Amino acid sequence: MTGLSDLDTQAKTALLTAYAPYSHLRVGAAVRTRSGATYRGCNVECASYTLGGCAERAAIAAAVQAEGPGVEILEVAIYARNARDEEQIIPPCGGCRQMIMELGPNARVRFLGEGGMRVDLPITDLLPHAFALVQG
C-alpha cells in the first residue's frame, strides 16, 4: 500500500505533539476501535530513558480510558520522522505488539516499510508467539 489512509493521517498529525528532545525521533500513532472511534498518541521521552512512552501505547491508553477495558482495537497506524524530518521506518516495539495483541487480536497494523511503501499486516504476523497469562 502506498497511499495514506485516514488513520495514517491521524498518526501523522499525532507526531506533531511528540516530546522527543533526546532522540529527535517523533512518533505518532492512531488506533481505531470496534466502535469506529479513533484515538491518537505520541511518544514522550524522558532524561531517564526507560521512563519514556511509546506513541502506540499512548493511543491505546486513550482508547481504554474512553471506552473501558472491553475496548477492541481493529487498526493501528504508526508514522515517524527522524531528526532530519525524514519519514522513518518504525514498526511497533515488542511491548507495543503485546499490548496491541491483547486488546486487538485481529488488529491490522500499518507503518512505513522499505522503499516508502506502507506495510499493512495482521498483528499475529508481527507477534506470532504472544505472551498469554493462563488463568487458573
Task: Give the CATH number, domain containing residue 60.
Answer: 3.40.140.10
Tell me: pLDDT of 2 over 60.
Answer: no
Question: How large is the average pLDDT for residues 27-47?
Answer: 97
**Residue 67, in any domain of the structure:** yes
Quote the cell numbers at residue 7: 488513520
**Residue 134, in any domain of the structure:** no
Number of domain units in the chain = 1
**Residue 54, in any domain of the structure:** yes
Interval 73-117: pLDDT, tens: 999 999 999 999 999 999 999 999 999 999 999 999 999 988 888
**Residue 20, in any domain of the structure:** yes
**Residue 35, in any domain of the structure:** yes
**Residue 72, in any domain of the structure:** yes
Lowest-confidence segment of 29-38, 49-58, 66-75 by average pLDDT: 49-58
Interval 57-67: pLDDT, tens: 999 999 999 99
Kind and range of the H or E element at 14? helix 6-14
Residue 120 structural domain: 6-126
Q: Based on the residue annotation, tell me whether 87 is a catalytic residue of this protein.
A: no
- pTM of the entire structure? 0.92
Q: How confident is the model at residue 135 (pLDDT cuts 50, 70, 90)?
A: low
Q: Which of 39, 32, 43 is nearest to 88 (CA)?
A: 43
Burial 27-56 (b: 16+ CB within 10 A, else e): bbbbbbbeeeebbbbbbbbeeeeeeeebbb
**Residue 10, in any domain of the structure:** yes
Catalytic hit among 56, 67, 86, 102: 56
Question: How large is the average pLDDT for residues 65-70?
Answer: 97
**Residue 57, in any domain of the structure:** yes
Asked if 76 and 104 touch (Cβ cutoff 8 Å), the reply is yes
